[in-house]
Amino acid sequence: MRGGHTAACTLKSRGRRAKLKAHLEHGKQIDRAVLVGAPHRLLEERVVREHMLELERLTETAGGKVVGSLIQRLDTATPQTLIGSGKVIELRHLVAELEADLVIFDDDLKPNQAKNLEQAMDVRVMDRSELILDIFAVRARSREAKLQVELAQLEYLLPRLARMWTHLSRIRGGIGLRGPGETQIETDRRLIGRRISELKKKLKDVAAQRATQRKGRDGQFRAALVGYTNAGKSSVLRGLSGADLLVEDRLFATLDPATRQVDLGSGYTALLTDTVGFIRKLPHHLVASFRSTLEEAREADLILHVIDLSHPDWEAQRDVVNEVLGELDLTDRPQILLFNKVDRITHAEEQIHEIRARSLGETPAVFVSAVEEGGLEPVLEVLRARVRGRHPRVTIELPADSGEVIAAVHREGEVLSLEENGSRLRLTARIPAALLGRLKRDPEVELSEL
């Protein structure tokens, strides 16, 4: 967003970004936020509480401080303000009393609803999607993540331009600047439209580069770690690969995919990719723009779906992840459920037994802990079995003095048996396709696939 006329939103989000950065760096609390939930009348109390708690964690991740909250159970939404007019007045009082400078709705607000609420409240009003976009904007590090977030933000912004201009006129005091005319908004719309196409093109180029990189890794077994935010994906990859990855008890610690090689023992290796976490009501602009990042998952041989078993809402979180995987057309990939954080469960044995009994015949599951010594062994076993399964079993007969070939079989494959017969050797082994090809071309080697 670089054009001069888009200054309204740029100014606002730059100012906010600077404040958030300051918060992240110095640990200072800034915006005082009141949270609002408008759940359906029939939604369970426990679930409502979980949702509000999650919104609170999101607000904190964005650098805000939650000073109060308000919930209205709804049958149907009020078109102008989502919540009813009485609740709007109550909220206005609460905001004044708590000296809040921000109101965050857990539910999506239509552009006109946000505008009406802002007018009624006289403080900034945002919804969960905007909050998530903001967090992503502050935390994005790589060029690709930054492009993706900017695209998502602009697409979110487009239908809300008029409201953004209201912000600006307020910042400038309003006098002589009663909001821009329609022409101004039209100009902005065109500029943003142009920037959106530009971003899409850039992202396409990055995706093409990424595809080329992936080609270079052909032949290796690849698995992708996906899951709800904070489930422990980065911890699992760190535990398996020894790589120094960012692990944090906060939502959306990881925004950039990282791929690391994992040594599975017996000569087997796999490439594992850590991906961005999912969350309930992930803004669909964001899902769309993160598609290319998640291409890694699309091309994986296996999806490891990490679940935080110690979270009271893990079942709902699992469903959210499966939904997003569906949106990304990733449901047809082979999947394994990785129930993580078992060290935090009091009656782990019972719970594991129950889950196993319930999910019999469904997606295979393993139970792990990323923090306990040896707690990830079950993942290694599963990966080893999968990688092994891809390596054909062969018998190889060759002269006993073919040291180089024998060493290669030991190094790249898994030797299952070895017999010496005079000057000849007979090996049974599992070997990767590349080595198989090489041995087939070797005139000294007699090969048969089992």
Ligand X SMILES: Nc1nc2c(ncn2[C@@H]2O[C@H](COP(=O)(O)OP(=O)(O)OP(=O)(O)O)[C@@H](O)[C@H]2O)c(=O)[nH]1
By CB under 6 A, name the binding residues for ligand X. 227, 229-235, 247-249, 251-254, 277, 340-341, 343-344, 369-371
Q: Which is nearer to Mg ion, 251 or 336 (CB)?
A: 251
Question: Which range in 196-204, 249-257, 386-394, 396-404 contacts Mg ion by CB under 5 A?
Answer: 249-257
Q: Which is nearer to Mg ion, 166 or 229 (CB)?
A: 229
Given Mg ion, ligand X, none, residue 113, with its beta carbon under 5 to 8 Å by kind, binds none
Kindly identify the residues of this chain, within the stretch 109-148, that bind Mg ion according to CB under 5 A. Answer: none
Write down the least CB distance from residue 225 to ligand X, Å: 8
Could you give the count of Cα atoms lying within 13 Å of 193 in the half-sphere of its Cβ? 7
Q: Which is nearer to ligand X, 90 or 343 (CB)?
A: 343
- Contact between 234 and Mg ion (CB under 5 A)? yes
- Contact between 253 and Mg ion (CB under 5 A)? yes
Write down the least CB distance from residue 233 to Mg ion, Å: 5
Given ligand X, Mg ion, none, residue 235, with its beta carbon under 5 to 8 Å by kind, binds ligand X
- Contact between 254 and Mg ion (CB under 5 A)? yes
Q: Which is nearer to ligand X, 124 or 305 (CB)?
A: 305
CA proximity to 235, closest of 299, 306, 320, 334: 306
Report which DSSP code applies to 424: E
Task: Please identify which residue in the block is written with the tokens 């509000």.
Answer: 52
Given ligand X, Mg ion, none, residue 229, with its beta carbon under 5 to 8 Å by kind, binds ligand X
CA distances from 340 to 170, 200, 310, 346, 366 (A): 48, 36, 8, 14, 9
- Contact between 369 and Mg ion (CB under 5 A)? no
- Contact between 35 and Mg ion (CB under 5 A)? no
Cα angle value 417/422/427 (rounded, 5°): 20
Question: Which range in 30-38, 70-78, 251-259, 324-332 contacts Mg ion by CB under 5 A?
Answer: 251-259
Beta-carbon contacts of residue 38 (< 8 Å; ≥ 6 apart): 71, 72, 73, 74, 77, 82, 83, 105, 106, 107
Could you give the count of Cα atoms lying within 13 Å of 151 in the half-sphere of its Cβ? 24
Q: Which residue is nearest to Mg ion (CB)?
A: 254
Given ligand X, Mg ion, none, residue 344, with its beta carbon under 5 to 8 Å by kind, binds ligand X
Cα gap 418→432, rounded to integer Å: 18
Given Mg ion, ligand X, none, residue 343, with its beta carbon under 5 to 8 Å by kind, binds ligand X
Q: Which is nearer to ligand X, 75 or 373 (CB)?
A: 373
For residue 391, give both structure tokens: 């390596």
Q: Which is nearer to Mg ion, 163 or 233 (CB)?
A: 233
Q: Which is nearer to ligand X, 371 or 418 (CB)?
A: 371
Q: Give the interface size with Mg ion as a residue count (CB under 5 A).
A: 3
Cα gap 347→15, rounded to integer Å: 48
Write down the least CB distance from residue 253 to ligand X, Å: 4
CA distances from 243 to 100, 236, 338, 340 (A): 42, 10, 20, 19
3-state helix, strand, coil in the chain (%, to 5): 50, 20, 30
Cα gap 359→363, rounded to integer Å: 7
Element (H, E) at 62: none
Write down the least CB distance from residue 219 to ligand X, Å: 28
Q: Which is nearer to ligand X, 122 or 248 (CB)?
A: 248
Beta-carbon contacts of residue 419 (< 8 Å; ≥ 6 apart): 425, 426, 427
Cα gap 92→36, rounded to integer Å: 12
Write down the least CB distance from residue 211 to ligand X, Å: 24
Beta-carbon contacts of residue 385 (< 8 Å; ≥ 6 apart): none
Write down the least CB distance from residue 174 to Mg ion, Å: 44
Cα gap 424→401, rounded to integer Å: 8
- Contact between 328 and Mg ion (CB under 5 A)? no
Cβ(66)–Cβ(31) below 8 Å: no
Write down the least CB distance from residue 255 to ligand X, Å: 8
Task: Please identify which residue in the block is written with the tokens 């959306």.
Answer: 252
Given ligand X, Mg ion, none, residue 252, with its beta carbon under 5 to 8 Å by kind, binds ligand X
For residue 383, give both structure tokens: 């990966």
Q: Which residue is nearest to ligand X (CB)?
A: 277
Q: Which is nearer to ligand X, 52 or 135 (CB)?
A: 135
Q: Which is nearer to ligand X, 5 or 57 (CB)?
A: 57
Write down the least CB distance from residue 276 to ligand X, Å: 7
Q: Which is nearer to ligand X, 100 or 336 (CB)?
A: 336
Given Mg ion, ligand X, none, residue 369, with its beta carbon under 5 to 8 Å by kind, binds ligand X
Q: Where along the sequence are the contacts to Mg ion (CB under 5 A)?
A: 234, 253-254
